[in-house]
Amino acid sequence: METKTATAGRALSMAPVEGVQTELQGPQATEQALMNAQAPESFARHVRGYLYVFYALIFGTLITVGASYIPFGNREVNIAVALFIAISKASLVACYFMHLISERKLIYGILGFTAFFFLGLMFLTIGSFADFPRHTVTH
């Protein structure tokens, strides 16, 4: 006697022996393999990692607020410190929450090209402030 059990809209074949499944094929086998691969210990490990990143982001926010009250001498140094902290926090978000830390080289290449062109456009924009035409009135 073979019984059918509905799981997520799909029927799984159960062996006549209680607690023993027959061999599954196709999408059902894939679903079962995913369920077996994602044990509760695996979830706990991932959640723990996400919590560590969350705590690091909270710490980074506290450092950002603290650094905003410290006069480092001039405005450029203050901006550089704030940007360093912001880039550190953004890299944590991109690496862990967007899962870029485990991606392949193609993703890193695309990310590198994006950063290169972004920086190029920023330098072009900043450089345009020093390149006014003659007889331009600036306030």
Q: Which ranges in the chain belong to alpha helices (H)?
A: 27-37, 40-68, 75-92, 105-128
> What percent of the chain stands above pLDDT 90?
34
pLDDT band for position 106 (cuts 50, 70, 90): confident
Amino acid 44: pLDDT? 82
Q: Do residues 108 and 98 make contact, with C-beta atoms less than 8 angstroms apart?
A: no
Between the alpha carbon of residue 32 and those of residues 27, 40, 115, the distances in Å are 9, 15, 40
Q: Lowest-pLDDT range, 26-30, 65-69, 92-96?
A: 26-30
Identify the weakest region by mean pLDDT among 80-84, 108-112, 121-125.
108-112
For the whole prediction, is pTM greater than 0.85? no
